[in-house]
Structure formats: C-alpha cells, structure tokens
C-alpha cells in the first residue's frame, strides 16, 4: 500500500477474545493470511505457540496492570493505550506501513471490557480509533463446559458481536448442537460463524460491529444458562430520549458490571429515523442515527444480556420511567 | 475533565456525544442543547426528589446537584449524576429497587 495514502479518520479496532485454548491465535493467523487483512496491525498479549508471520505485530508487556481509576468508565489499560498511541504516532511519521485496521487479541482469561473502555476514555485514542466489534472464539469441543464453569468464558460470549465457533471438525455433532443452543441463550443477537472450515468467512468476521440489529427470541428453559440470560423489551410508543438516557445511566451506574450487553434500536419522539444504542457493561458507545429502519417494524427494541438480574425488574423499571417521561414532557409543554 | 478521576480530556458521555457523521446527538446546536438540558433537569428531578435531591442547570455547561439542606456538587453529565447522587444522599440509587419503583409509580 502506498505510504502517501492517508490513514482513515477513525481506524476500526476489532477485539478478538475467547477462552484459553479456544483457537484465538489460530484464527488470527488464518485471518492475517487473507489479502483482506494486508493492511491490518495486530496487538497481542503474548507470543504463543502459533507463529504470526505478519508485518505489524506489537506485543503488550505481560506484567502491566489495570490503572484503577476513580470511575469504572474511565478504566484504562495503560499499556494498551501506550502501545496504540505509539502505533498511531509511528504511522503518522511513516515509520510503519500504513494500516487501516487494528486487531487486538486479548488473553484467554481477560475481561474484554477494559479494552473497550480504553478506546473511549483515552483522550488521544478516542479521536483516532473506533471500536468495530468483538469477535469471540468458542471451542466446539470444550466450549459448553467452559461456558458453564468459567464466568470469564460466559462474559466473553455475552459481549460478542460475532461468535467464531472453532474445532467443529473434531467435535461431536450432538455436543455442537447443545453448545449452539447455549450460545443462543446467552447472546442470541450474535451470529455464530463456523471457522474450522477451509474457507474462512473473513468479511462476516470483520463486519462484527456492523451486524444488522436482530430482535431476539426468549431462550427456552432447557438451553438457558445458569447465570447469564438474554431478554428483550419491545415498546410500541416512541421513546423520550431524555428519560431513556437518565434511566440507562442510572441502571448502569448501579448494575453495569452485571449488564453484560445492551443493544437497542429506538424510535424516538421527534426523530423520523431510528437510533441505535450499543453498550457493554458500564460503557455505552455514541448512539448512531440510522438512515432507515431495517424492516417494517417501527417499534423500539432493546436487547439485554444480564448476569444474575431478574428481567422482570428491568422491564418494570423501564415502564415506570417511560410513564415518568410522559408526565415530564406534558409538564414542560404546559410550562 | 472526568469529575471522578480527575483525568484530563474527560470522557464523552453517550448522551452528550460530539456531533459527527452518523452519530445521534442533541449536542448539535445551542437551541437543541438547551432544550435537552431543560428536559433532563425536569425528568431527573422527578426521580431525585425521592432521594431528597434537586438538579439544576449551571450556565449551560454543567449541572448542580443539591440536597434539600444545601449540600451540593457539580456534575458534568449523566455519566456522573448517579454516583454523585449516591454520595450526597448516602443511599444507593437503584432503579431496580421495588420500593423505589413503588414510590415512583405513586408519585406519577
């Protein structure tokens, strides 16, 4: 790629996560061999057994720790911020080949949230990088047991925009079906892509954050996960944006660490086009104004993935605030 | 600056996103910004009064959160409102608390 070409205004960042041994590095190696990723820089936590033959691979120091800040939204992984700033700076100077995309591979036990919060909280990074999505690898052989046994594995699946199912070529088909049902219960909005096949669905994987919004069906009891569950709220009447913001901010302040994911397509009062909101734990990305509705359904739809919270309480709270918003709007009009 | 951490550069709360391509925000022009702030104050006060608190706009740039006895704190955006409300009131501001929801419903 010619060095004179300008970098994108916001370089998309894909977070590749997944439990220990679930095939993250193998997937990354295959992705990097694809011509579509020729202009991709990579940040990895450690050099594993699978060699990465790629121009731009940066390694994070293993002994760095999270900077415990005053509020969780500003949690910054200092070593990640420093590495990304350095990459950006070297790209600006022409010291490294132009890259137009960044992939960060997290460790198998890492909570992905601080990586996402670093992107937004760092005053330099948030002007040059944007979260493009989370790809989580799930091992078709051991994934079901890991989801049930390790909270880290469940959280990684819950926050995924796309789930990459690995090792399907060596897994028992019956076990794979049970795993798919469990993944559907934990994160029904995330497409599950089989990546063990020879042909890798590169486009679908990289489009992670750009997946169209999908309404979710309530998971059935048999497949439900013991801790995490997904549910949706559908609202007929257009929402008041001010009230929604106050409610969600209040909810995340108190329960953000147990609200693994919130994703919504909202019909707002006074807005002709839908607005999409998208959050992971305490962090909500800047809402996006979509050009049009994806289908004929014009109702607001919110999908939550929660850990240990009764969905009925969230539904009740949402409804109480919606009533409050209507009353406040009426008071403002009459004032 | 982030009010809690003191980190320079602060944090762009999603309800106050900077206007840019594709982003939905009411932080686009002064008229819409003022109207949105007035609406937030109106809505928030209906909740905050249950905790003995009151919110007001402060020069269109911040909010002033006060107890009914006058103790107060500046709040930059909604991202810091509820943490400040918990500090000032000494109570957990929990929108899922059934008692809180009952009082909110009764107050309609």
Question: What pLDDT, on the 0 to 100 scale, is given for residue A207?
Answer: 67
Q: Measured between alpha carbons, how far is residue A212 from residues A97, A209, B11 in Å?
A: 32, 9, 27
**CATH, domain A228-334, list 3.90.930.60, 3.30.1220.10, 2.40.50.100, 1.10.3720.10:** 3.30.1220.10
Question: What pLDDT, on the 0 to 100 scale, is given for residue A326?
Answer: 83
pLDDT at A219 over 60: no
Averaged over A300-318, what is the pLDDT?
93
Provide long-range contacts, Cβ within 8 A and 24+ apart, for B25-34. B25/A286, B25/A287, B26/A241, B30/B60, B33/B60, B34/B60
Averaged over A62-84, what is the pLDDT?
54
pLDDT at A335 over 90: no
Q: What are phi and psi for residue A133, nearest 5 degrees?
A: 145, 165
Q: Which residue in A238, A257, A286, A333 has the most chain B C-beta atoms within 10 A of its own C-beta, making it the best mutation to test that interface?
A: A286
What are A32's two structure tokens? 């990097």
Question: What pLDDT, on the 0 to 100 scale, is given for residue A170?
Answer: 86
Averaged over A53-61, what is the pLDDT?
55
Round to whole Å and give the CA distance between A300 and A239: 8
pLDDT at A70 over 50: no
Q: Which residues of B touch A240 (CB under 8 A)?
A: 39, 43
Q: What are phi and psi for residue A10, nearest 5 degrees?
A: -130, 115
Sort strands B53-58 and A275-280 into parallel, antiparallel or unpaired.
unpaired
Cβ distance B108 to A71 less than 8 Å, yes or no, reads no
Task: Identify which has the larger pLDDT, B90 or A32.
Answer: B90
Nearest CA in chain B to A123: B9
Residue B75 near residue B84 (C-beta atoms within 8 A): yes
Round to whole Å and give the CA distance between A223 and A162: 19
Residue B39 near residue A101 (C-beta atoms within 8 A): no
Contacts (Cβ under 8 Å, ≥6 apart) of B27: B16, B17, B18, B19, B33, B36
**Residues B67-80: pLDDT tens digits?**
999 999 999 889 89
Sign of CA dihedral A270, A276, A280, A283: negative
Round to whole Å and give the CA distance between A96 and A285: 29
Cβ distance A121 to B11 less than 8 Å, yes or no, reads yes
Nearest CA-CA distance, residue A276 and chain B, Å:
9
What are A23's two structure tokens? 């095939």
Task: Identify which has the larger pLDDT, A68 or A300.
Answer: A300
Which of A128, A40, A122 is closest to A89 using CA atoms? Answer: A128
Q: Measured between alpha carbons, how far is residue A207 from residues A126, A212, B91 in Å?
A: 20, 10, 43
Q: Which of the residue ranges A185-199, A283-297, B5-19 would you say has the lowest mean pLDDT? A: B5-19
Cβ distance A245 to B40 less than 8 Å, yes or no, reads yes
pLDDT at A212 over 50: no
What are A248's two structure tokens? 């969600």
Torsion region of A46: left, alpha or beta (phi above 0 gives left; psi -120 to 50 gives alpha):
beta
∠ CA A76-A80-A84 to the nearest 5 degrees? 115
The radius of gyration computed from the CA coordinates of chain B, to the nearest angstrom, equals 15
Cβ distance B95 to A289 less than 8 Å, yes or no, reads no
Band the pLDDT of A26: cuts 50, 70, 90. confident
The reply to whether domains A11-210 and A228-334 share a CATH topology is no
Give the three-class secondary structure for A37: helix
pLDDT at A300 over 90: yes
Question: What pLDDT, on the 0 to 100 scale, is given for residue A261?
Answer: 87
A292-310 burial by CB neighbour count: b if 16+ within 10 A, else e? eeeeeeeebbbbbbbbebe
Q: With respect to CATH, is domain A11-210 assigned 3.40.50.620?
A: no
**To the nearest whole percent, how much of chain A has pLDDT over 70?**
81
pLDDT at A251 over 90: yes
**Residues A77-133: pLDDT tens digits?**
677 888 888 889 988 898 888 888 888 887 766 677 777 878 877 888 888 998 888
Residue A179 near residue A185 (C-beta atoms within 8 A): no
Round to whole Å and give the CA distance between A133 and A265: 17
Q: Which residue in B96, B101, B105 has the most chain A C-beta atoms within 10 A of its own C-beta, making it the best mutation to test that interface?
A: B96
Cβ distance A253 to B82 less than 8 Å, yes or no, reads yes
Round to whole Å and give the CA distance between A157 and A142: 14
Band the pLDDT of A66: cuts 50, 70, 90. very low
Task: Identify which has the larger pLDDT, B38 or A126.
Answer: B38
Band the pLDDT of A54: cuts 50, 70, 90. low
Round to whole Å and give the CA distance between A182 and A198: 25
**Residues B79-103: pLDDT tens digits?**
899 999 999 999 999 999 999 999 9
Mean pLDDT, chain A, rounded, equals: 81
Cβ distance A73 to B79 less than 8 Å, yes or no, reads yes
Q: With helix as H, strand as E and coil as C, how does chain B read?
A: CCCCCCCCCCCCCHHHCCCCCCECCCCCCHHHHHHHHHHHHHHHHHHHHHHCEEEEEECCCEEEEEECCCCEEEECCHHHHHHHHHHHHCCCCCCCCHHHHHHHHHHC
Longest CA–CA span in chain B (Å) reads 44
Cβ distance A328 to B42 less than 8 Å, yes or no, reads yes
Which of A123, A249, A317 is the closest to B8 by Cβ?
A: A123
Nearest CA in chain B to A242: B40
Q: Which residue in A254, A273, A280 has the most chain B C-beta atoms within 10 A of its own C-beta, making it the best mutation to test that interface?
A: A254
CB pairs under 8 A between A and B: 137
Residues linked to residue A41 through DSSP beta bridges, in sequence order: A102
Q: Which residue in A78, A246, A258 has the most chain B C-beta atoms within 10 A of its own C-beta, making it the best mutation to test that interface?
A: A246
Question: What pLDDT, on the 0 to 100 scale, is given for residue A109?
Answer: 62
Report domain extents, chain A.
Answer: 11-210, 228-334
DSSP string over A195-251: -SSSS--HHHHHTGGGPPP---PPPPTTT--SSEEEEEEEESSPBPHHHHHHHHHHH
Cβ distance A324 to B104 less than 8 Å, yes or no, reads yes
Cβ distance B47 to A246 less than 8 Å, yes or no, reads yes
Task: Identify which has the larger pLDDT, A250 or A8.
Answer: A250
Cβ distance B47 to A277 less than 8 Å, yes or no, reads no
């Amino acid at each position: 790629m010619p060095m004179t070409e300008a970098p994108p205004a916001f370089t998309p960042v894909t977070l590749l996560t997944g439990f220990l041994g679930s095939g993250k590095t193998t997937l990354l190696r295959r992705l990097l061999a694809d011509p579509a990723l020729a202009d991709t820089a990579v940040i990895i936590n450690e050099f594993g057994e699978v060699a990465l033959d790629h121009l731009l691979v940066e390694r994070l120091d293993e002994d760095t720790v999270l900077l415990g800040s005053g509020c969780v939204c500003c949690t910054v992984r200092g070593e990640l911020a420093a590495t990304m700033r350095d990459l950006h700076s070297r790209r600006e100077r022409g010291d490294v080949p132009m890259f137009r995309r960044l992939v960060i591979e997290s460790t198998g036990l890492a909570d992905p949230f601080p990586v996402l919060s670093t992107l937004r909280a760092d005053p330099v990074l948030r002007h040059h990088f944007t979260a493009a999505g989370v790809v989580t690898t799930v091992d078709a052989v051991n994934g079901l047991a890991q989801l049930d046994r390790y909270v880290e594995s469940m959280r990684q699946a819950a926050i995924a925009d796309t789930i990459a199912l690995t090792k399907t070529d060596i897994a028992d088909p019956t076990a794979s079906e049970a795993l798919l049902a469990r993944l559907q219960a934990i994160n029904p909005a995330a497409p599950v892509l089989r990546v063990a096949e020879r042909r890798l669905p590169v486009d679908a994987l990289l489009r992670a954050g750009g997946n169209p919004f999908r309404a979710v069906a309530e998971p059935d009891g048999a497949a439900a996960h013991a801790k995490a569950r997904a549910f949706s709220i559908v609202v007929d009447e257009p929402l008041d944006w001010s009230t929604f913001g106050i409610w969600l901010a209040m909810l995340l302040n108190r329960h953000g660490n147990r609200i693994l994911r919130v994703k919504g397509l909202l019909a707002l009062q006074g807005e002709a086009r839908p607005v999409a909101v998208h959050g992971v734990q305490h962090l909500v990305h800047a809402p996006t104004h979509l050009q049009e509705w994806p289908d004929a359904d014009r109702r607001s739809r919110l999908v939550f993935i929660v850990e240990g919270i009764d969905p009925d309480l969230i539904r009740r709270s949402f409804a109480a605030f919606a009533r409050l918003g209507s009353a406040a709007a009426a008071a403002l009009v009459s004032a | 600056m982030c009010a809690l951490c003191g980190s320079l550069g602060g944090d762009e709360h999603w309800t106050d996103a900077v206007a840019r391509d594709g982003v939905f925000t009411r932080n686009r022009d002064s008229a819409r910004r003022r109207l949105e702030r007035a609406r937030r104050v109106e809505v928030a006060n209906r909740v905050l009064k249950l905790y003995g608190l009151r919110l007001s706009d402060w020069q269109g740039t911040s909010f002033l959160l006060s107890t009914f006895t006058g103790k107060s704190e500046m709040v930059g955006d909604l991202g810091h409102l509820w943490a400040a409300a918990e500090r000032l009131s000494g109570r957990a501001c929990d929108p899922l608390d059934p008692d809180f929801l009952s009082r909110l419903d009764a107050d309609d």
